[in-house]
């Protein structure tokens, strides 16, 4: 395996500040330590978030979480609960949390270019009353990821504006890329297999595990 080499590296914060400068007071002061009415409104409308974790050695992972708008429950101004529904049982995110409870979340709403960032620590909770209150269409989560909030701030829209993420013209023809079945076959070294049959199996599994 080859590693790309570079000769001009930034190795400390002073070098970094020489390139980018310092944040404005407004950028610093927008960070708060609790959920106000604006944060609550965004979470109530959000059907999707990205959840960043790392293990005890610092290896990082980001996992998407999505469901109906407002699937993340605000318990109080310092606490939210994320229902954890069945997946592929790799449990990368949950295992990381057992070793390092620090997490970062990014809430997104389709059509909205601003995002909400939440950082804090987690507890993996199985209290029956909480899980029952988070049940949806007869499906109760196996556990709740409860986040104790340390900091919250809104994130500017530039990244989503540049990417035109929500624009219809940004949507690709899915056929431009390999199917999920083809990618899985190659990554998992499945060898010769019927790709159409594998894709039907994957589609059925995804649909059956939604709720």
Burial of 123: CB neighbours in 10 Å, binned 0-12, 13-18, 19+ = middle
23 lies in a domain? no
Q: What is the pLDDT of residue 43?
A: 98
Asked if 39 and 113 sit in the same domain, the reply is yes
Whether 141 has a pLDDT exceeding 80, the answer reads yes
Asked if 51 and 146 sit in the same domain, the reply is yes
What would the mean pLDDT of 19-38 be, rounded to a whole number?
A: 95
Asked if 135 and 51 sit in the same domain, the reply is yes
Whether 88 has a pLDDT exceeding 70, the answer reads yes
Average pLDDT over the chain, rounded to whole?
94
Range of the domain at 194: 172-208
105 to each of 25, 61, 116, 148, how far by Cα in Å? 23, 12, 8, 12
Tens of pLDDT, residues 150-192: 999 999 999 999 999 999 999 999 999 999 999 999 999 999 9
Q: What is the pLDDT of residue 205?
A: 85
Asked if 193 and 135 sit in the same domain, the reply is no
Q: What is the pLDDT of residue 85?
A: 82
Instruction: Provide the whole-model pTM.
Output: 0.92
Number of neighbours of residue 108 by Cβ within 10 angstroms = 22
Q: What is the pLDDT of residue 199?
A: 93
Distance CA 33, CA 79 (A): 11
Q: What is the pLDDT of residue 210?
A: 67
Q: pLDDT category, 211, cuts 50, 70, 90?
A: low
What would the mean pLDDT of 97-126 be, rounded to a whole number?
A: 98
Q: What is the pLDDT of residue 24?
A: 94
- CATH of residue 75's domain is 2.30.110.10
4 lies in a domain? no
Q: What is the pLDDT of residue 1?
A: 65
Asked if 203 and 150 sit in the same domain, the reply is no
**Domain total of the chain:** 2
């Amino acid at each position: 395996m080859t590693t790309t080499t570079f000769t001009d590296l930034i190795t400390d914060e002073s070098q970094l500040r020489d390139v980018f400068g310092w944040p404005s007071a407004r950028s610093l002061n927008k960070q708060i330590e609790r959920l106000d009415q604006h944060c609550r409104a965004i979470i109530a409308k959000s059907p999707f978030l990205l959840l960043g974790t790392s293990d005890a050695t610092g290896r990082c992972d980001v996992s998407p979480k999505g469901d109906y708008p407002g699937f993340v429950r605000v318990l109080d101004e310092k606490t939210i609960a994320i229902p954890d529904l069945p997946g592929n049982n790799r449990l990368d995110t949950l295992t990381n949390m057992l070793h390092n409870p620090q997490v970062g979340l990014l809430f997104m709403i389709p059509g909205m270019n601003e995002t909400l960032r939440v950082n804090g620590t987690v507890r993996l909770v199985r209290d029956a009353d909480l899980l029952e209150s988070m049940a949806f269409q007869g499906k109760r989560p196996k556990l709740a990821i409860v986040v104790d909030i340390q900091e919250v701030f809104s994130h500017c829209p530039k990244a989503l504006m540049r990417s035109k993420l929500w624009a219809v013209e940004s949507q690709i023809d899915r056929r431009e890329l390999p199917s999920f079945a083809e990618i899985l076959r190659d990554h998992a070294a499945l060898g010769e297999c019927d790709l159409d049959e594998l894709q039907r199996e994957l589609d059925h599994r995804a649909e059956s595990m939604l709720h």
